Structure formats: C-alpha cells, structure tokens
Amino acid sequence: MSAHLDQFISWVKENGATYEKFDFKTDSEGIGCVYATTKVGAGESLATLPFRLAITEKVARNALPNLDQHSCRNVMSLFLAQQKKIGNESFYAPYLNILPEKIMTGLCFDKNDMRFLENTTLYNSIEERRQNVYNEFQQLIKDSPENKNITWDEFLWAYSVLSSRSFPYSLIDPSYDGPSEVLFPLLDALNHKPHTHITWMRNGDPETGSLSFVIGNEIEAGEQIFNNYGPKVCDLLLLGYGFCFENNEYDHVALKPNISMDPNAQAKLQIVQQANVVSSSKEEPLLNYIHQDNIPSSFYKLMRIMVMNELELSCYLNCTDSSLLDFVGYRNEIAMLNTINALLQARLMAIRKFSVDITHITSWQKYAILYRQGQEKLLTIIVARIEQEKSNMLRRMSTVTELPPVAPFLSIINPEYFAQQKQLWDIKKTQEEKSNSGVVTLDSVVITLNQLLQRNPRFKKATEQLFEDIEEEQDIVMMLALIEERSKGRESKWNAFFERTRDINKNQVPSNEEAVEELQDLYDSLFPAFTEAFPDTFSAEIYSFEALLWAEYILNNYSLNNSIFIVPI
C-alpha cells in the first residue's frame, strides 16, 4: 500500500468515514479499482462518508467568493486546481494526492489521440467543448487574478476530476433545484458497470448527514465491486470519464439534417416549430438521437418536413397537428427514407476511413477505437432497418389499385383515403409476411424515363437524333416523354394519374414570372423546330406550351428528390 493511500485511509477514518470488506488495487492498465476482501452480502452497507468530507459548490464558492457569474463546474474546477497547487496545506490533500496524475478524458486527447476519432461526431464534440472550456478558464482567471498562477493543464486536470468522479448535489440536499455537483472521496473509487445493483443511501441532514453505498447483489471475495453511473452512451463516457465499452445498449447515433442551402428552410422550420416536432435539445432543435432499437417518430416527422417539395409545403404550411405528419404521401415517404439512408451512408463511409496504425496504442486510444467500432456497428444496424422500412413501403405502394380522389395525392387532402389504405395494407402486410413474398423494386412503382422511352420507340428514336446526350438533357426529355405518354389516353398504364393531374390549379403553377418566362423560352427553343423535324412524333396539338407547363409541374411535384423518378400515386 502506498504512503499516499495510507494517508488517505487515515484521513477519511479520522473524519468519520467507515468502510469494510474491500481494498484498493490497480488493474493491468493502471486503473484504480475496488475489490472485495471477503464475501459481501446483498443489502450490506459497503461504505459511509460524512457530508463534511464532501467537496461541494458551496465549499468552492466560499473560497472563491467573486465568481458568482461562473458555473458550478468551473468554480469547483478552479478550487480543485488551487487546492492541488498548495499541496499538503490543503485539508483535501490526502484525497487529491491519490487521484490519478493523468485523467485521459476526451478533453485531454492530444492531436495524435484525436486521429482515432476522426470522422466521428465525438471528434467535433471534443473540439468544441475543449475550446469552450478553455475560453471559460481564461475568463475565470481574468475575474480571479489571484489565481493567475493556475495553468490550463492544471485546470483541465481538475475539470476532468469533476467530469469523471462527481455526483449530483441532490444526494446531500434533495430539495436543491439546480445543476450543482459534489465530490465524495472514498465513494468515488468504484468503477462503472451497467446494471449494477447498488443504492446511494442518504442519511441525516445536509450539515451533519452522510451518504452510504448499499450493495444490491452478493459479491464474492476477490471480485471487483462496481458502482452504477446510470445509462450512459459511449460518447459521454469517453468525453467525460475517459473510457467506454463494447456493445453499449444505450449507444445512439446523432443525426441532424442540414438545410442551410435549402431555399425553403424558413418555411420548413416554421412547420417544425408550430407542429412541435423539435427534439428535446433546446440548443439543437433539429438534432435527434437514433437508437438501434428505437428511431423516434418525431425524427421521421421532422424528415418528412425536410424533404417536402413546394407543393407539399404549401399544403402543410399551416399544420399545427403533428399527427398529420405521420404520413404525408408516397413520394414524400420514399424521399424521406432515401434522405435518412443517405445521411447514414455518408456517416458510415466517413467512419470507415481509418488508416491509423494500431499496433502500439495507449489504453485510451483503445477506448477510442472501441467507440469508433461501436458507432460503425450501430450505423450498419440502423441502415439495414431503414432499408427494410423502404422495402415495406415499396410493397405497400405495389398494392395500390386506386388513386386518391383529389390531386395532389397527400394525406392532408385525402385523409379518409389514406386511412383506408393503411388499414388495407396492415391486413395485406400480415398475409405477405406469412407467404414470404418477394422484393418490390422502386422501378416497378414509379415512372422512369427509361420506361417511357421503351414504351414509345418512335419518340425514343426522334429524341436520340434531337439530343446529343439524353442523360445531359434528361429533365427536358422527361417532360416531353410525359407529354407523349399522356397523349395515349387509356392506352397508357398511367392514364388515371395523368387524368387526375391534368387540370392544374392556378395556385399550383409557378407564381414567379421569371420561371414562367424561362419555361416559355425553353418551349420556343424546341418548337416548332421539333414538330418540323418529326411531324409524326411532335404534333403541335399535343406539344403545346400548356402541356409543357403541366409536365414541369409533374416533374417538380411528383418526382423524388435529386432524381426524375415520378411517383404516380
């Protein structure tokens, strides 16, 4: 037993603390642990610490009285650094002397350590938090010049002590309503293990009381004794405590849509706010945490808003009932699932870009790799789940035999139709699961340019001669192909869709005169030249400006984002 540990044990006992049946040891990685020396029965009190030995916010503020504007964590960190600086003159020296000289929380990672977290959300969190803490430290020293001898490294050490070892102050005073925290020497020696049954039992009043740890399950001699810090994700464990572990059931992926370049961002945010589909984070209302077993319904609702086109936005602009966002329409639903999948795939690709040599690494770098691997595994699971949901939606779309009565085909306009469709699908879904029906592809439930060209060989031949690169001009070719297919009337498999959308409401056409003029310019560049070149294909009666206006409307409002797949239901 070290001299510092001897002094610490004497100090806590002299000041009224009691403990039995355990001893302090160090594991193979140099981490302090607590092991049972004899069998500990369920319900036994492991240790008791009087509150007078606790380091509280009150203690710190009494020593640093002119820092009222600073947070509890920062004032307590400065106090700890100050007490560590004065050495054995401090009442808390026996406790401070046994604390690790190096506490490798994420905030203490250097540039080499941070390489192990590149392309993860934790990387950005650490960089941002470290800068914020550093700025707060500078302000602390400015407001407390008598402590200017405290260095950044000393303050960061103290900050890490608190992040990794503190308890809520409510354990001393349950009536206290605030973010205050407290250090309990001796009791903070136990490491964390999820699902550990242990009770933090408060006794007496805040001035003369104490805190006891009562064991929930029997522990055999030689076993490590653990505490339970509560449900903690690996991000928080590595950032605040300096460790994490595999297969953490509480882990999640943080997702936030980026709409900074979206011209309709303000309108979408308006719906988000008024329908109250914001996340629980006040600072980041669009940030959501996705668990492998739980994708919040609010996240789906948020993403349905994020992928709304202008027509959908105009119909939902006054929406205040979040239940109306349980389903918007088939186009919107596929676009939403595609967008979520793209977000996840981008994150997954980034996290797999890892080329750091891991042959000789530190224990905290191993934890960083564990975190990285956990995020990759979690992302893979969630991607598979989203793909399954898309597959289910495509199967549902394949069963639609009758279009909604009113265009546009949105649930807010056709509520009874979509409610009935859902009921029918729920029945069919059960039947399909029993029969193990095959996969439905996206192409089978949408209108694609390739389908239209294959169905109209004369039109295809003409466009191949008129356009050097159809792919380069696919938007224009698609609009012309839609007009061609519509002209077939009942011979077209999509005739019902074309008929329902034929009469465009004046409110649904571009209100921007410049947009209409641009479309007119496009029309004038195509006709009558196309008609003169291929009169049997491009009839002037069929290919009118009004027809082109309709085709652009279909392309803008019924196609999937970033593609020309038309969703005709």
Domain boundaries, the chain: 3-240, 252-403, 449-558
Give me the pLDDT at residue 30, please: 65
522 burial via Cβ count (<10 Å: 0-12, 13-18, 19+): middle
Compute the average pLDDT of residues 281-294.
86
d(CA 105, CA 158): 11
Helices 152-165 and 72-85, axial angle in degrees (round to 10): 120
Q: Residue 250: how many CB atoms within 10 A of its CB? A: 13
Compute the average pLDDT of residues 67-78.
97
Q: Is the pLDDT of residue 509 over 70?
A: no
Percent of the chain with pLDDT over 90: 85
Question: Of 3.40.50.300, 3.65.10.10, 3.90.1420.10, 3.90.870.10, which CATH number belongs to 252-403?
Answer: 3.90.1420.10
Q: What's phi and psi for 534, nearest 5 deg?
A: -135, 75
Give me the pLDDT at residue 177, please: 86
Q: What's phi and psi for 431, nearest 5 deg?
A: -65, -40
Encoded tokens for 411:
């649930």
d(CA 501, CA 566): 13
Q: Is the pLDDT of residue 496 over 60?
A: yes
Question: pLDDT per residue over 445-489, tens digit each?
Answer: 999 999 999 999 999 999 999 999 999 999 999 999 999 999 999
Give me the pLDDT at residue 435, please: 60
Taking domain 3-240, whether its CATH number is 3.40.50.300 is answered by: no
**pTM metric for this prediction:** 0.89
Rank 286-295, 324-333, 419-428 by mean pLDDT and report only the highest: 324-333
Question: pLDDT per residue over 359-398, tens digit each?
Answer: 899 999 999 999 999 999 999 999 999 999 999 999 999 9
DSSP line for 253-293: EEE----TT-TTHHHHHHHHHHTT---S-SS-TT-EEEETT
- Average pLDDT over the chain reads 93
**pLDDT-based confidence at 358, cuts 50/70/90?**
confident
Question: pLDDT per residue over 170-188, tens digit each?
Answer: 999 999 988 899 999 999 9
Give me the pLDDT at residue 100, please: 93
**pLDDT-based confidence at 133, cuts 50/70/90?**
very high
Encoded tokens for 273:
């706010």
DSSP line for 355-420: ----SS--HHHHHHHHHHHHHHHHHHHHHHHHHHHHHHHHHHHHT--S--SSSS--TTTSHHHHHH
Q: Is the pLDDT of residue 506 over 60?
A: no
Q: Is the pLDDT of residue 430 over 90?
A: no
The sign of the torsion formed by the CA atoms of 558, 561, 562, 565 equals negative
Encoded tokens for 159:
């900050």
Give me the pLDDT at residue 183, please: 98
Q: Look at the block and give the residue holding tokens 């004794």.
A: 225
Residue 458 Ramachandran class (φ > 0 left, ψ -120 to 50 alpha, else beta) = alpha
Do the Cβ atoms of 379 and 253 come closer than 8 Å? yes
Compute the average pLDDT of residues 308-324.
96
**pLDDT-based confidence at 1, cuts 50/70/90?**
low
How many Cα atoms within 13 Å fall on the side-chain side of residue 75?
23
d(CA 498, CA 500): 6
d(CA 125, CA 368): 14
Percent of the chain with pLDDT over 70: 97
Do the Cβ atoms of 161 and 99 come closer than 8 Å? yes
Q: In angstroms, what CA-CA distances link 52 with 48, 208, 519?
A: 12, 7, 79
Give me the pLDDT at residue 565, please: 95
Compute the average pLDDT of residues 136-150.
96
Strands (DSSP E) contained in 44-166 are 45-50, 55-56
d(CA 105, CA 126): 10
Beta-carbon contacts of residue 91 (< 8 Å; ≥ 6 apart): none
Q: Is the pLDDT of residue 515 over 90?
A: no
CA angle 231, 237, 240 (to 5 degrees): 120
Q: Is the pLDDT of residue 141 over 60?
A: yes
